[in-house]
Structure 1
Amino acid sequence: MTHASSASGTGQIHVGISGWRYEGWRGTFYPPKWPQKNELDFASRAVETIEINGTHYSLQTPASFMSWYAQTPPHFVFSVKGARYLTHMLRFRDETATVACANFFAQGVLALNEKLGPFLWQFPPNYSFDAERLERFLALLPKHGDAALALAEGHDARVKAPFLRFDATRPLRHAIEVRHASFRDPAFIELLRRYGVALVTSHSTEPWPYAEDVTADFAYFRLHGSTEKYGGAYEDSALDAWAKRLLAWSRGKAPAKKDLMAPEIAQSRPAARDVFCYFDNDKKTEAPYDARRLMTRLGKTPPPLPADASDLAARKG
């Protein structure tokens, strides 16, 4: 995982997409007749980072994580979406959440090694703020490899082939996305800052809370669409504004007070801050193209998209 470099004064900005397996992308983003098994291979060379969505719905296998690692280029970064069994079903009500969390970290996610970026924990719209319950969850989240390994050791039989190898000293990052208005509470921001967990800045047409409070040493943005839920390309002017915002955050600047849940809490001002930004407007294949347009505005040069499988193989050398 890449961390900000205070010496340069600018953190790493990673721009990408949420997921890569969408039927509507076949023949639009992916070339016609492109093998589905090679879609990650293609997508990971079009953008810099991808959120793994499958981990949200079910436990995966070490073989899957190893395959994803092998298909992606060096320096690629995955964000991993937390299990909805934890965030949507158990909701951290009792000690069973500890075992479920152990299963999550034992399933093979640690096989991503240095390509493992932040963990994204998305709470549903009907999940309201409960300080005691949230702190119980935040205290569970491992902050380093050694803590992740210790937690994973507590897995149960639902993990058929536990993967329990990882760099014990590697720091781990966590981000939380909320969708209920009750989280507009300074106590929520204080908890996130106490545990070093990032608040996801979530842009959507839905009435989800939008906020830019700084609660960790990195920032996490999710752009869900400009005209409808998970749809609508971002206009040039909007992408210009997002590029300016991401650059400012990467340089450690504080957000505007009007966009804060807790404006009375002093914002962290590191010399540099890593930034992760994911497009989730996947409905009409807008996400990967918007990501590439934003990369260009940040001074990056997205590689040309291959025309077919042989073209990709040639470019990989």
Structure 2
Amino acid sequence: MEIRIGTSGWVYPPWRKTFYPEDLPQKKELFHASRHLTSIEINGSFYSYQKPSTYQHWYDETPDNFIFSVKGPQYITHINRLKEIEDSLANFMASGVLLLKTKLGCIFWQLPPSFVFNDEKAARLEHFFSLLPKTFREASTWANKSKRFIADYSADITQSDRPLRHALEVRHHSFENPAFIELLRKYKIALVFADTAGKWPYMEDITSDFLYLRLHGDESFYDDGYDQDSLKFWAQRLQAWSQHRLPNHAQNLTEVKDLPDLKTAFIYFDNDLKIKAPQDAQQLQQLTGQ
């Protein structure tokens, strides 16, 4: 299992003179971060559509073996709440996200805390899952429907059957429901394992051929770093999943008969008001032999 460890975002003033060298120009921060981490979660795409030139710059600025995850737009998940989203999905796919090419590891979607899992929402979720493109070729077809963006996608993108992976993070305890887990498995959407100091659900059901972890803090949400014992805890868990077995005290809602062949694990630190996130990521890289 390939392990990719990084942070959620990379532009934070507190990182200057700590993670970033004092004399580093701000425009070179992604260059620096991508040489010390193996992946970064782009979250600006959640707040607004990015430009094709921006995605192209991110692609050009990072090493060949670097991987991004991209957060899906809040307009789809939080504003429209997965209803009447066809135009928004087309706009997102046409905004330039596919210009990341082989560096696009996953698209990550997050539901708001007020989104409750019930029969009506389950049907809404299933419709959403059915719309999500599973390959670059399918995503390009969606992009062609956009009336807002016209990203210049080359044939190696529009004709590619390269898989396009999706992950979903939930923030309401009603999702602690085996029916939700089975719905994810049906469409091979990865469940985000979100460490939120108990604030929101934490489940470790594997629902696709990759893992997606978001580490916000184990003792307090967003404003706490991870100590060495906590980082070893996560390293041991990753080792178990990598060895095709469940970790100790696995927190699964559903019975596990046979683990799928896991190809990749994405782990992003989004903790300690972002200050300690890059240091925690680098330490976990060392503990997992990255």
TM-score (norm 1): 0.85
C-alpha separation in 2, matches of 1:17 and 1:156 = 33
Give the conservation status (yes or no) of the 8 Å contact 1:16–1:48: yes
Which runs of structure 2 are paired with 1:150-229 in the superposition (5 Å)? 150-157=141-148, 159=149, 161-165=150-154, 166=157, 167-229=159-221
Which runs of structure 2 are paired with 1:35-114 in the superposition (5 Å)? 35-94=25-84, 97-114=85-102
Q: Which residue of 2 aligns with 1:19?
A: 9
Aligned length: 284
Q: Which residue of 1 aligns with 2:224?
A: 232
The C-alpha deviation readout for 1:49-103, integer Å capped at 9, x for no partner, is 0001111111111110111011111100000111011010011223xx0110111
| Superposed CA RMSD | 1.6
- Identify if the C-alpha distance between structure 1 residues 181 and 271 changes in structure 2 by more than 3 Å, giving closer, same or farther: closer
SS at match of 1:224: strand
C-alpha separation in 1, matches of 2:258 and 2:145 = 35
- Identify if the C-alpha distance between structure 1 residues 126 and 268 changes in structure 2 by more than 3 Å, giving closer, same or farther: farther
Q: Which residue of 2 aligns with 1:260?
A: 252
Give the conservation status (yes or no) of the 8 Å contact 1:197–1:216: yes
User: How many percent of aligned residue pairs carry the same amino acid?
Assistant: 47
Q: Which residue of 1 aligns with 2:125?
A: 134
- Identify if the C-alpha distance between structure 1 residues 258 and 169 changes in structure 2 by more than 3 Å, giving closer, same or farther: closer
Q: Once the 2 structures are TM-superposed, how far is the Cα of residue 23 of structure 1 from its aligned partner?
A: 1.6
User: Which of the residues 116, 119, 123 maps onto 2:104?
Assistant: 116
Q: Which amino acid aligns with 1:64?
A: T
C-alpha separation in 2, matches of 1:74 and 1:80 = 17
Gaps of at least 5 residues in structure 2 are none
Q: Which amino acid aligns with 2:44?
A: G
Q: Once the 2 structures are TM-superposed, how far is the Cα of residue 270 of structure 1 from its aligned partner?
A: 2.9
The C-alpha deviation readout for 1:28-54, integer Å capped at 9, x for no partner, is 211224211111001111110000111
Give the conservation status (yes or no) of the 8 Å contact 1:152–1:164: no
C-alpha separation in 2, matches of 1:178 and 1:210 = 9
Gaps of at least 5 residues in structure 1 are 1-10, 301-317
Q: Once the 2 structures are TM-superposed, how far is the Cα of residue 164 of structure 1 from its aligned partner?
A: 3.3
C-alpha separation in 2, matches of 1:55 and 1:179 = 19
SS at match of 1:220: strand
- Identify if the C-alpha distance between structure 1 residues 16 and 27 changes in structure 2 by more than 3 Å, giving closer, same or farther: same
Give the conservation status (yes or no) of the 8 Å contact 2:199–2:221: no
Q: Which amino acid aligns with 2:142?
A: L
TM-score (norm 2): 0.93
